[in-house]
Amino acid sequence: MTERVALTGVAETMLATLYGKALQSRGPSPLLPDEQAERAVERIDYDFAKLKIDTKTALATALRALYLDRWAGQALNERPNAVVLHLGCGLDSRYHRIAPGPEVSWYDVDYPEVIEIRRRLFSDEPGYHQVAASVVDPAWLAAVPADRPGVIVAEGLVQYLTRDQISVLLTRLAAHFPSGVVMFDAWNSLAMRSGTRQRAIKAVGAQLGGFGINDPHVIEGLAPGLHFDTEQTFLNVPELARLSKPSQMMFRAMDRIPAVRSMGRLLRYRF
């Protein structure tokens, strides 16, 4: 049985992320095995070809997800009774990949039209919740427990938010929990200027938020209480050994240029 989807703009970009994960998962020795993504792509009635996702883009998508999974897993090892907020979850299957312990309460949050599709594709489980709301709407957070540590994960979200939206959202989240960790992928100003030329973004007509994060410490000023912990860049990670030698040499050269190295990275903060 196929599932028809009718998404536009930012919500539609989730299909590019989903397809990238499914594409690399289908290959030999996948970096990020993701059978849920494969099955979802098979069921969704959508022209994925228009997104122009190639193998390198699929690898980059899987690499970002893999490192976020690792960080989230580490955070849950430190906080086995945490409340997880997976913001802008799209059709990602992070909950299933990580398989958190029974004390964890997990909330996948995205637009109502996205959650409606998720509910057709993914089954509910004890401790797992799907929240149909914009992440910047303050109302949904009232139903989330506030008496345990928070683990907040956002993939492919922050670059679509404005500076003010980032400030208000992170401040609200840090104030909701007694302690916790926030992790997300971020673009700098150079990436933000060139982002609209990315094939998937251009194909769906999504609008970026316009705020490039050049210095990770700027977030500490936007969201008091957050403290920068670490970052992860991707131009010289071991997983790139899967690429051809010329590609590896090109990425190592790019890694020597700070503005290029930080175009796309993961940032982690504690509070």
Share of the chain above pLDDT 90, in %: 85
Tell whether the model's pLDDT for residue 7 goes beyond 90: no
Tell whether the model's pLDDT for residue 25 goes beyond 80: yes
Within the chain, where are the H helices?
9-26, 35-43, 55-78, 94-98, 112-121, 163-176, 189-194, 199-204, 218-222, 245-255, 258-261
User: CA angle 164-172-170, nearest 5°?
Assistant: 55
pLDDT, tens digit (0-9, with 9 covering 90-100), for 44-80: 999 999 999 998 899 999 999 999 999 999 999 999 9
Q: How large is the average pLDDT for residues 165-185?
A: 98
The pLDDT value given to residue 30: 94
The pLDDT value given to residue 205: 85
End-to-end CA distance of the chain: 45
Can you tell me the distance from the alpha carbon of 235 to that of 231, in angstroms, rounded to the nearest whole number? 13
Residue 3's beta-bridge partner residues? 44
| Residue 219 near residue 165, CB atoms below 8 Å | no
Share of the chain above pLDDT 70, in %: 100
Comparing C-alpha atoms, which of 73, 65, 144 is closest to residue 106?
Answer: 144
Can you tell me the distance from the alpha carbon of 121 to that of 34, in angstroms, rounded to the nearest whole number? 14
Tell whether the model's pLDDT for residue 259 goes beyond 80: yes
Please give the residue that has the higher pLDDT: either 92 or 7: 92
Tell whether the model's pLDDT for residue 180 goes beyond 80: yes
Q: How confident is the model at residue 4 (pLDDT cuts 50, 70, 90)?
A: confident
Strand 128-132 to 105-110 pairing: parallel
CATH entry, 3-270, from 3.40.50.150, 3.20.20.70, 1.10.10.10, 3.40.50.300:
3.40.50.150
Strand 128-132 to 83-87 pairing: unpaired
The pLDDT value given to residue 200: 85
pLDDT, tens digit (0-9, with 9 covering 90-100), for 224-253: 999 999 999 999 999 999 889 999 999 999
The pLDDT value given to residue 123: 79
Give the residue carrying structure tokens 């007694």.
178
Q: How large is the average pLDDT for residues 185-200?
A: 90
The pLDDT value given to residue 93: 95
**What is the residue extent of each domain of the chain?**
3-270
What letters, b where the CB count within 10 A reaches 16 and e where it falls short, cover 60-83?
bbbbbbbbbbebbbebbeebeebb
Can you tell me the distance from the alpha carbon of 129 to that of 85, in angstroms, rounded to the nearest whole number? 10
The pLDDT value given to residue 92: 96
The pLDDT value given to residue 27: 87
| Residue 92 near residue 118, CB atoms below 8 Å | no
The pLDDT value given to residue 67: 98
Give the residue carrying structure tokens 């299957």.
93
The pLDDT value given to residue 56: 87
Can you tell me the distance from the alpha carbon of 136 to that of 222, in angstroms, rounded to the nearest whole number? 15
Tell whether the model's pLDDT for residue 112 goes beyond 90: yes
pLDDT, tens digit (0-9, with 9 covering 90-100), for 115-167: 999 999 887 789 999 999 999 999 999 999 999 999 999 999 999 999 999 99
Tell whether the model's pLDDT for residue 105 goes beyond 90: yes
